[in-house]
A and B are shown apart, each in its own frame.
Chain A
Amino acid sequence: MDELTKVIRDYVVKEYLEEGDDREVTETSPLITGGIVDSFSMVSLKRFLEKKYAIQIPDDQATPDAFDSVQRIAALVRRFQQK
């Protein structure tokens, strides 16, 4: 797991898993469709990524689909880092 993926995974675990929730979050775990992150609370993840990596993710690209796994989120961040 590279550094970017690890940072995102760690944030997801800290920000979204309730105390006592021992679900394992892997690179491919479904976050939105798996019920770990909902669209209501997804905004803090987007803001975290934008601040941490000094990028701007337009709302139309911050879709539940694009945020549905750590792997996908990492790909999204990389895309905007290259721009």
Chain B
Amino acid sequence: MAFNDSTRNVFGAELESIKSAGLFKQERYIHSPQFSEIEVEFPAGAKVRKCINICANNYLGLSSHPDVIAAAHAGLDSRGYGMSSVRFICGTQDIHRELETRLTEFLGTEDTLLFPSCMDANAGIFEACLIEQDVMIADRLVHASIVDGMRLCKAMQDTYKHSDMTHLEEKLQEHQDKRVRMIITDGVFSMDGDLAKLDQIVALAEKYNAMVFVDESHASGFIGKKGRGTHEHCGVLGKIDVITTTLGKALGGASGGCVSGRREIVEMCRQRARPYLFSNAVAPVIVAGAIKVMDLLSASTERRDKLEWNAKYWRGLLKDAGFDLKEGDSPIVPVMLYDAKLAQEFARDLFDEGVYAVGFFFPVVPKGQARIRTQLSAAHEKHHLDTAIAAFKKVGEKHKILGLGKKELIARAGA
């Protein structure tokens, strides 16, 4: 069928409805490497301006680290640009296996398989391992990629209220007749920044004979004393059956992800996970960079320690300034505004003040839960945070929200 006017109008109308709902997303062009300060062109065609970046997943500041860049260059020279193949045909190099072994050691699991992204890992794992006689019981706030992966799987789906262990226990009791029960959670929840109660989840899993799946994308590299993840923080290293995580955030920030866990589960993914079977091997340049990241993490906890300090300092600054925050122990610090329009205006005003942050609202977060999600990095210095808080205060004063609690903010939004 030709893409004629009537077809064009179908999609044009759809895009208009996205715009009129206030959900239209626009990219901002960055003219510099990813870092604590970046050069941004926004809107398109505007003069490029320098601003403090407080919304990247660059938790450890390794996205542009000189050692990682050098290792990536060396990998490019020694192993080439691309594999022109999926892994199981002729796309597996020695360094792919080396990185998988390093990730296995770091995460404290039995084996690891690289995927093109963690989105792909989550899209592939459930369908590869579970069947109709099984049940997946997920926290209601798990990442969208997990929701998509679950929808591709024939096993029964169920959910429990966010971090509600009583509700999870009820669900586990309800599903005792299933062949396999898999509890599914994020380690750190990306929008709220809170940590899963993995110690309690593991205890329930043992009591009710269930597997535990954790997406550690917002945890690997910096949560826990050695940065090994939420399972380290909660004292359950070695007790998580399946971990998925990304190389696209703290672990270098390029792309790539993995399934790591029980050797049989990893092997099932190697045999059956469609995103692994039908997409190219992670590029050698990324693999080489990620191996260097593993070296850096093994050598020192300095970066995760600095990140922890930055997160505490930033949270304190925001609290003292009178913002309403979601409580948590991670470098994700959501500033709650509740109102979608206010969140958008707030982010735009922050940008005018030289701070790059993004407003999140429905459907990314539940209705009436709009926020500015701030994310800390080990690349932030104290002066970045002091400058950023001055901008937050100025914009907060402009919108008259400083010192307001949840109820007052909601009432203000409804007024």
**A residues apposed to B, CB below 8 Å:** 16, 18-19, 34-35, 38, 40-41, 43-44, 47
Residue from B138, B140, B159, B164 with most neighbouring chain A CB atoms (10 Å)? B159
Given contacts A34-B367, A35-B362, A35-B368, are A18 and B162 in contact (CB under 8 A)? yes
Determine the chain A residues whose CB is within 8 A of the CB of B342 once the complex forms.
Answer: none
26 contacts between A and B (CB under 8 A): A16-B161, A18-B161, A18-B162, A18-B164, A19-B161, A19-B164, A34-B367, A35-B362, A35-B366, A35-B367, A35-B368, A38-B140, A38-B366, A40-B138, A40-B140, A40-B147, A40-B157, A40-B159, A41-B140, A41-B159, A43-B157, A43-B158, A43-B159, A44-B158, A44-B159, A47-B158
Determine the chain B residues whose CB is within 8 A of the CB of A47 once the complex forms.
Answer: 158
New contact pairs (19) apart from A35-B367, A35-B368, CB-CB < 8 Å: A16-B161, A18-B161, A18-B162, A18-B164, A19-B161, A19-B164, A34-B367, A35-B362, A38-B140, A40-B138, A40-B140, A40-B157, A40-B159, A41-B140, A41-B159, A43-B157, A44-B158, A44-B159, A47-B158
A41 to B368, CA, bound (A): 18
Main secondary structure of the interface of B (DSSP, over half): loop
The A-contacting residues of B in range 132-183, CB under 8 angstroms, are 138, 140, 147, 157-159, 161-162, 164
For A18, the closest partner residue in chain B by CB is B161
Determine the chain A residues whose CB is within 8 A of the CB of B367 once the complex forms.
Answer: 34-35
User: In the complex, what's the smallest C-beta–C-beta distance from A48 to chain B, in angstroms?
Assistant: 10
A47 to B164, CA, bound (A): 20
User: In the complex, what's the smallest C-beta–C-beta distance from A46 to chain B, in angstroms?
Assistant: 10
Determine the chain A residues whose CB is within 8 A of the CB of B147 once the complex forms.
Answer: 40
Main secondary structure of the interface of A (DSSP, over half): loop
Determine the chain B residues whose CB is within 8 A of the CB of A35 once the complex forms.
Answer: 362, 366-368
For A21, the closest partner residue in chain B by CB is B161
Number of contact residues on B: which range applies? 10 to 19
For B150, the closest partner residue in chain A by CB is A40
For A41, the closest partner residue in chain B by CB is B159
A16 to B157, CA, bound (A): 15
Interface string of B116-145 (1 = CB under 8 A from A): 000000000000000000000010100000
User: In the complex, what's the smallest C-beta–C-beta distance from B156 to chain A, in angstroms?
Assistant: 8
A9 to B367, CA, bound (A): 20
Determine the chain B residues whose CB is within 8 A of the CB of A18 once the complex forms.
Answer: 161-162, 164
Determine the chain B residues whose CB is within 8 A of the CB of A19 once the complex forms.
Answer: 161, 164
User: In the complex, what's the smallest C-beta–C-beta distance from A45 to chain B, in angstroms?
Assistant: 10
A44 to B156, CA, bound (A): 10
For B366, the closest partner residue in chain A by CB is A35
User: In the complex, what's the smallest C-beta–C-beta distance from B343 to chain A, in angstroms?
Assistant: 15
Determine the chain A residues whose CB is within 8 A of the CB of B368 once the complex forms.
Answer: 35
A18 to B147, CA, bound (A): 20
A19 to B366, CA, bound (A): 16
For B161, the closest partner residue in chain A by CB is A18
The A-contacting residues of B in range 209-240, CB under 8 angstroms, are none
Determine the chain A residues whose CB is within 8 A of the CB of B157 once the complex forms.
Answer: 40, 43
A40 to B366, CA, bound (A): 12
User: In the complex, what's the smallest C-beta–C-beta distance from B167 to chain A, in angstroms?
Assistant: 8
A13 to B263, CA, bound (A): 41
A18 to B167, CA, bound (A): 10
Determine the chain B residues whose CB is within 8 A of the CB of A38 once the complex forms.
Answer: 140, 366
For A30, the closest partner residue in chain B by CB is B367
For A43, the closest partner residue in chain B by CB is B157
A47 to B158, CA, bound (A): 10
User: In the complex, what's the smallest C-beta–C-beta distance from B365 to chain A, in angstroms?
Assistant: 10
User: In the complex, what's the smallest C-beta–C-beta distance from A65 to chain B, in angstroms?
Assistant: 16
Determine the chain B residues whose CB is within 8 A of the CB of A43 once the complex forms.
Answer: 157-159
For A14, the closest partner residue in chain B by CB is B167
User: In the complex, what's the smallest C-beta–C-beta distance from B62 to chain A, in angstroms?
Assistant: 33
A34 to B362, CA, bound (A): 11
User: In the complex, what's the smallest C-beta–C-beta distance from A32 to chain B, in angstroms?
Assistant: 10
* Across the A-B interface, the 8 shortest Cβ-Cβ residue pairs: A35-B367, A41-B159, A43-B157, A40-B147, A35-B366, A41-B140, A44-B158, A18-B161
User: In the complex, what's the smallest C-beta–C-beta distance from B359 to chain A, in angstroms?
Assistant: 17
A1 to B337, CA, bound (A): 36
A16 to B140, CA, bound (A): 10
Determine the chain A residues whose CB is within 8 A of the CB of B161 once the complex forms.
Answer: 16, 18-19
Determine the chain A residues whose CB is within 8 A of the CB of B162 once the complex forms.
Answer: 18
A35 to B70, CA, bound (A): 48
